[in-house]
Chains A and B, each alone.
Chain A
Amino acid sequence: MPLIRLLRPSLSRLLFAALALAFVHLATQPALAGPYEDAVAQFAAGSFADTEEAIGKLVASAHPRAATIIVALQDGRLFADPDAKTVFIKAEDGKVTDAATGDAVAALPDKASAVRLNNKLRRAVSGAMAGLTLLSPDLNKRIQAAQSVFKTHDETVLPTVEAALKAEKNAAAKQAFAEARAAILLFKQDASDVDKLDAIAVIKARGDQEAMALLTGVPAGQSAAVTSGIASAKAAIERNLALWSMVQNAWYGLSLGSVLLLAAIGLAITFGVMGVINMAHGEMVMLGAYTTFVVQEAIRTRYPALFDYSLLIAVPLAFLVAGAIGVLIERSVIRFLYGRPLETLLATWGLSLIQQQAVRTLFGPTNREVGNPSWMSGAFELGQITITYNRLWILCFTLAVFAILLAMLRYTSLGLEMRAVTQNRRMAASMGIATSRVDALTFGLGSGIAGIAGVALSQIDNVSPNLGQSYIIDSFMVVVFGGVGNLWGTLVGAFSLGIANKFLEPVAGAVLGKIAILVLIILFIQKRPRGLFALKGRAVEA
């Protein structure tokens, strides 16, 4: 059959010449002419219809060279000699090869001209590209191809999709193929209503933004059943999308809340429990982040194998560094200022300037590189949202720190002493508690926790001398909002501010959302000057 096809015009004209041509042709094609060769030769036929048919056949042949030819066609580098029925590919560097075999050819024949494309063909070409990868042995490529067919819903690849669907073993790929098939059927003019309704059901089950776009794009003029099916599917998808975007916002909010909580938790001790306004709190966070940097540098140069454990090593070190500096600050400055909160505020602000400048002098003013260990990088999909591992770990870490802190205050003797000193300093002193030692340790604890926060924040923020400043106002907002002197208030405050912020962001934009939150807190404090969970009784007036 292909041979006859090749020979037909020749027969009608000059038998000998035709035979000669046929022989020449066969000589250049070592393999027996099959559907692939047939398809390639058809590119030379000249009409758009022939070219379209050729594309379809080429894809169906699944020949390894098919992709090369299609790409050449797409780029206008496919040349055909209408008389000799030979097709060539001109590479970008000008080298010419025979399209069917890939053998090098000296030069293009004079008569060869580029195979022409119109818009319909261009669509067919891109559909064909997808069709080709649909059969790829690589699972990810197959799924990707199915996704792109879902978007283009090109009828010509329907047989390929159906074949692929039948042959597919992998569940995810099977799903993708089924969705691609549904998309094609939905747009196919002559598909039955039953098929279309089935297709709508499949697309509805997919339920994401793309399914929505697909359903919106269905041309008018469908039967009543299909139209109402599309409308109800769209409504369902809209609900689904709204739900997922809620989930997404909630997750972002939780993530932001965990960062806020982490930054504020130390402040909840120093400000909330001790009543010390520590404006240098942010700098404790910064010190923790720089400790992480130093640990990672040491590991990089000495024991690169330990890199994945760098954070585990940094956490206790950061606690010790920030805690020690906290104790130092308490002993040298803050203890002289108890009962003078405004002066404490100014003095600690001065300390924060000194610490920032010290770090700037030691490490330079620019951002320092802190790497993510392998277990903290990457992300996974949950339904329709993407969750990054570092955010997830930070959330877990924050809750763990919170729980440990709570347990420490509740069950250890230091925690008991701290609570005693907070509640009634003089009574505690008469009971034999060394109140000044407890003060120092409490302040050290708060600072140390800020240091730990720095380790976590170094994973998601720039480690620069200004790191702390960006958290200090937020932290104070959280503590004040949650209610001073109450760790649970800080927890609730942090998460509600985080979630509120992320729900406002899509409506108002990131900066306006933040401004709105600040204004809301300012108004909230008017209403409840002592925060969400205010202490009651005499402690209020203290």
Chain B
Amino acid sequence: MTPHILTRSLNRSATVFLLVLAALGILLPLSNLLLPDGSFLHVPTYLISLFGKYVCYALLALSIDLIWGYCGILSLGHGAFFALGGYAMGMYLMRQIGTRGVYANPILPDFMVFLNYKELPWYWYGFDMFWFAALMVLIVPGLLAFCFGWLAFRSRVTGVYLSIITQAMTYALLLAFFRNDFGFGGNNGLTDFKDILGFNVQADGTRAALFVLSCLALGIGFLICRAVVTSKLGKVLIAIRDAESRTRFLGYRVESYKLFVFTLSACMAGVAGALYVPQVGIINPGEFAPGNSIEAVIWVAVGGRGTLVGAALGAIVVNYAKTVFTSGPLAPYWLFMLGALFVLVTLLLPKGIIGTFNAWWEGRKEKDEARDRAQRDSATAAAAESAAREDGVIERTMVKR
């Protein structure tokens, strides 16, 4: 069974993606840890953390692509699941600080002492154990997504309405987490982490390990997504994306399919957030900002929605550009760039980088075949040509009204 899923899931681009990811995940940490500082090939630790951040973003993008690219659900609140996963991990890291905090309270994190908490709120129980925190990283976003999706999909909230209420969801969470009495550190969030599973979070070795773990999570997430989209279930998802009503009339329970894929996607986003937090060293309510979630959507759009590889690629490309622009003299122009990216990608590159590349590649192949066939039978050439044009269209654009 398993090998079958594997062989089915891996097409050429997926294999290339996994190989590149594995190579990066092994070579970068090795070069960071083993090569001497002055060496030409030495990768400094800050770059390891930076790439680790990109990989987490890529996993988030992957989770968005799974629902948007394959099921047509545009969530503008996926940052919320990402941040919830991050908070779950942050809570574990806070509990690990112990007496090393400013107030040296063995139980209460610094901000709670500062805010006059007398005892630990009940929802912080258990977060001193890693396995519990790791479980919560999956359960909290998953449960929220399940409840939210159960309500939304059952009453057939679709399209832009869903986008708007997911945005409202993350906005409500943003407001809630900004409150001091909510018990998650308010404005400042959770920070000043010391160690994770007994290893210092600042140490080179820990950073390299976190990077490897992030790559591993991305790889596994990618395989899960591939397994889903290449299965029969994936075919139904695509059917829902392209013609929801028709799929429903064919007898499929559209809500259940959507709910499953939405919850899965939220869990993946949660894992991405959990890996992100120890690498950047802070989680604060800003992660819930609606703008962040929309930005994550554009990574997917840039890379190419409905391609999975494209989502990961888009996240890395856009974030790399962001790093380059915002750290240089071009910083004031970054938002112009980002804004233009949104407009230009939707107008000129609706299939994204990978989608456009695929279409071009397929088109060329089809053309070659068509030429071969034309030599045999010139009458069928015209039909093949038009078929080629139809191919690779990701979403059938249904004109309103």
- Name A residues whose Cβ lies closer than 8 Å to a Cβ of B: 275, 277, 279, 333, 336-347, 349-358, 360-361, 424-426, 469, 473, 476-477, 480, 511-512, 514-515, 518-519, 521-523, 525-527, 529, 542
Query: Are B298 and A346 in contact, with the CB atoms below 8 A?
Result: yes
Closest to B178 in A: A511
Which single member of B76, B168, B346, B397 contacts A521 (CB below 8 Å)?
Answer: B168
Query: Are A346 and B160 in contact, with the CB atoms below 8 A?
Result: no
Given contacts A350-B338, A526-B157, 4 further A-B contacts (CB under 8 A): A342-B74, A342-B163, A353-B338, A357-B339
Query: Are A346 and B297 in contact, with the CB atoms below 8 A?
Result: yes
In whole angstroms, what is the CA distance A527 to B175 when docked?
24
Query: Are A424 and B339 in contact, with the CB atoms below 8 A?
Result: no
Interface locus among B147-155, B274-282, B356-364, B376-384: B147-155
Which single member of A357, A511, A542 contacts B332 (CB below 8 Å)?
Answer: A357
18 contacts between A and B (CB under 8 A): A337-B346, A344-B346, A346-B298, A346-B342, A347-B342, A350-B340, A350-B343, A353-B336, A360-B332, A469-B291, A473-B168, A476-B167, A477-B164, A480-B165, A515-B176, A518-B168, A518-B169, A526-B157
Closest to A329 in B: B343
- Interface residue B389 (Cβ < 8 Å from any Cβ of A): no
Query: Are B335 and A511 in contact, with the CB atoms below 8 A?
Result: no
Query: Are B74 and A345 in contact, with the CB atoms below 8 A?
Result: yes
Chain A nearest Cβ from B401, distance in angstroms: 5
Given contacts A333-B347, A357-B332, contact A511 B152 (CB under 8 A): no
Query: Are B339 and A343 in contact, with the CB atoms below 8 A?
Result: no
Q: B151-193: contact bitstring with A at CB < 8 Å (1 yes, 0 no)? A: 1101111011101110111011001101100000000000000
In whole angstroms, what is the CA distance A353 to B341 when docked?
10
Chain A nearest Cβ from B228, distance in angstroms: 21
In whole angstroms, what is the CA distance A167 to B148 when docked?
70
- Interface residue B400 (Cβ < 8 Å from any Cβ of A): yes
- Residues of A near B339 (CB, < 8 A) are 350-355, 357
- Residues of B near A511 (CB, < 8 A) are 175-176, 178-179
- Residues of A near B164 (CB, < 8 A) are 476-477, 480
Query: Are B400 and A275 in contact, with the CB atoms below 8 A?
Result: yes
- Interface residue B350 (Cβ < 8 Å from any Cβ of A): yes
Chain A nearest Cβ from B396, distance in angstroms: 11
- Residues of A near B341 (CB, < 8 A) are 350
In whole angstroms, what is the CA distance A525 to B156 when docked?
10
Given contacts A345-B163, A511-B178, contact A354 B335 (CB under 8 A): yes
- Residues of A near B291 (CB, < 8 A) are 469
Given contacts A424-B401, A518-B171, contact A351 B160 (CB under 8 A): no
- Interface residue B34 (Cβ < 8 Å from any Cβ of A): no
- Interface residue B330 (Cβ < 8 Å from any Cβ of A): no
- Interface residue B294 (Cβ < 8 Å from any Cβ of A): yes
B122-165 residues with Cβ-Cβ distance < 8 A to A are: 148, 151-152, 154-157, 159-161, 163-165
Q: B361-401: contact bitstring with A at CB < 8 Å (1 yes, 0 no)? A: 00000000000000000000000000000000000011111
B304-362 residues with Cβ-Cβ distance < 8 A to A are: 332-333, 335-336, 338-343, 345-347, 350
- Interface residue B225 (Cβ < 8 Å from any Cβ of A): no
- Interface residue B201 (Cβ < 8 Å from any Cβ of A): no
- Residues of A near B172 (CB, < 8 A) are 514-515, 518-519, 522
Which single member of B168, B175, B298, B335 contacts A477 (CB below 8 Å)?
Answer: B168
- Residues of B near A525 (CB, < 8 A) are 152, 155, 157, 161, 165
Query: Are B171 and A340 in contact, with the CB atoms below 8 A?
Result: no
Query: Are A526 and B152 in contact, with the CB atoms below 8 A?
Result: yes
Most chain A CB inside 10 Å of its own CB: which residue of B160, B171, B333, B336: B160
- Interface residue B290 (Cβ < 8 Å from any Cβ of A): yes
- Interface residue B301 (Cβ < 8 Å from any Cβ of A): yes
B13-44 residues with Cβ-Cβ distance < 8 A to A are: none
Which single member of A275, A343, A355, A477 contacts B346 (CB below 8 Å)?
Answer: A343
- Residues of A near B151 (CB, < 8 A) are 522-523, 526
Which single member of B161, B163, B398, B399 contacts A529 (CB below 8 Å)?
Answer: B161
Report the 6 A-B pairs with minimum CB-CB distance, sorted nearest first: A350-B342, A353-B339, A354-B339, A357-B335, A518-B172, A339-B399
- Residues of A near B342 (CB, < 8 A) are 346-347, 349-351, 353
In whole angstroms, what is the CA distance A468 to B398 when docked?
31
In whole angstroms, what is the CA distance A343 to B160 when docked?
10
Query: Are A338 and B290 in contact, with the CB atoms below 8 A?
Result: no
